[in-house]
Structure 1
C-alpha cells in the first residue's frame, strides 16, 4: 500500500510532467531547455561564491575597522604589518599607507619612525600632498568596488535573458505544433497538445532560472552597496586621520 502511494505521488509530481514534456518538445526547444539549465547552474554558482566572498569581506572588514580605530595613529597597522586578507578596506588602507610612506620619505621620515607616538614634528605634509593621497585612496575605493561587482553582470544577464529565451522556445514550439497540425490535416486537440505542452516547458524553465537569479541579484547588490558605503566612510575617516596627524597647520 505504501509503495503504491509513493508511486502515485511520483507520477503526480511536476517533475514527471516536465520530463514527458521535454521528450515531446522539438529539438530547438530541447536545446533551449539545456541552455537554460546550464545558465541556471552558472547563476547558482555565481550567487553562492559571491555570497561567501561578501560575507567574508564583511567579517574581515569589521575586524579591520576595530584594529584600525584601536591604533594611536593612522599608520599603526601598517608599521605592525597586520594584514586582513579578503577585506576591501585593508587593500585601500595598504595602498594609502604606501602612498603616505612615499610622501613622508620626501621629508626624511622613514617607516621605522611611524610608531605609536607621533609628535608635532611629523606634521610635514601640505594640503596638496593630502589631496594626492586622497586621489590614491579614492582610486583604490573605485577599484575595490569594481572587484566586488565582478560577475554581477552575468547574473543580471541571467535575470533578463532567461524569460525571453524561454518565450522564444515557447513561440517556436507552438509554431511547429500548428505547422504539424496543418500538414497532417487533423484539427484534433490531441494532435497538438503534446507539442504545445513541450513548448510551454521552455517558459517554465526560463522563469525557474530568472526568479532565483533575480532574488539573488537583489540580495547581493544590497550587500555590495553596504560594503561600498563602508569603503567610502572608511576612506573619509582615513584621510581625516592623516590630516590630523601628518598635515601641518596653516
Structure 2
C-alpha cells in the first residue's frame, strides 16, 4: 500500500515538473529522477528513443541542448518507433505493478479453502472421538467442533483484509495504467508538434 501511495506522490511531482516547461525534453536533459513514479518510465523511454533518432545517441552531455537546437526533425516512421518504445514501457511497468498483487491474490483465493479444510478435518476428528466414546455427548464433541471453528475464523481473518487490500490495489493499478496510457498520448503529441517533419514529400520518401 505504501508503494502505491509513494508512486502517486511521485507521479504528481513529475507531472508538475513536466508541465512547468514548454520543452518536453527538458527533464531528460537535466537527467531528472522521479524514482517510484510509473509514468516517469514512459517519459524516459520516449525521450531516449526520440533522442536516438534526433541526435544519433540517447546520451545526455553538455552539448545536448546545442545539438538538439540544430537537429533535423524526424520522419513519421521514426515517430512510430518512439510511440512503440513508450507502449513497451507502459506494458513493462504495468507488469511490475501487477506483480505486487500475487501475494494478496493468493491469500484471497487460498485462505477460505484452508479454512474449509480445517473445518472438515475438525468435524472428522469429532466423529472419530464420538466413535471411540461410543455415544455422542457435548464433552466428546466440543473440542473437535471448537478446533474446526477456530480454523474457519482464522482463515476469514486472513481472507477479508486481503480482499479489501486486493481490491484497493487492482483499482489503483488500473488507474495508473490508464494514466500512463494518457500521458504517452500527451507526450507523443508534444513530440509530434516539435520534432516531426510532416512535409508530404518526406512522408512519400519514407513510404
TM-score range, shorter chain: 0.7 to 0.9
Aligned to 1:188: 137
Q: Which residue of 2 aligns with 1:147?
A: 96
- In the alignment, is residue 70 of structure 1 matched against residue 15 of structure 2? no
Q: For the residues of structure 2 that align with 1:159 and 1:247, how far apart are their CA atoms? A: 49
Q: State the Cα deviation string for residues 206-230 of structure 1 (Å, max 9, x = none).
A: 1111000001111121111111111
Q: List runs of 5+ in structure 2 lacking aligned partners.
A: 200-207
* Equivalent residue, structure 2, for 1:217: 166
> Could you say which residue in structure 1 is the equivalent of 2:3?
53
Of 174, 179, 189, the residue aligned with 2:128 is 179
- RCO (CA 8 Å, sep 6+): is it higher in 1 or 2? 1
Aligned residues: 195
d(CA) in 2 for partners of 1:234 and 1:123?
25
Given that residues 166 and 207 in structure 1 are in contact (C-alpha distance below 8 angstroms), is that contact kept between their aligned partners in structure 2?
yes
* TM-score in terms of structure 1 length: 0.73
Q: Tell me if the contact between 2:55 and 2:71 (Cα under 8 Å) persists in the aligned partners.
A: no
Which of 61, 65, 68 matches 1:114? Answer: 65
CA displacement at 1:53 relative to structure 2: 0.8
Which of the residues 77, 80, 102 maps onto 2:30?
80
- Alpha-carbon distance in structure 2 between the residues aligned to 1:106 and 1:191: 82
1:151 Cα offset (Å): 2.7
Provide the TM-score with structure 2 as the length reference.
0.87
- CA–CA separation in structure 1 for the residues paired with 2:180 and 2:65: 24
RMSD between superposed Cα atoms in Å: 1.9
- Aligned equivalents of 1:83, 1:180: Cα separation in 2: 66
Instruction: Report whether the alignment pairs 1:135 with 2:135.
Output: no
Alignment check: 8 A CA contact 2:130 2:140 kept: yes
Distance in 2 (CA, whole Å) between partners of 1:135 and 1:70 is: 26
- Provide runs of 4+ in structure 1 moved above 6 Å: none
Structure 2 contact 76–198 (Cα < 8 Å) conserved? no
User: Shift in Å at residue 122 of structure 1?
Assistant: 4.5
Residue in structure 2 matched with residue 45 of structure 1 by the alignment: none
Is the contact made by 1:75 and 1:114 (CA closer than 8 Å) also made in structure 2? no
- 1:231 and 1:184 map into 2 onto residues whose CA distance is 66
Query: 2:202 aligns to what?
Result: none
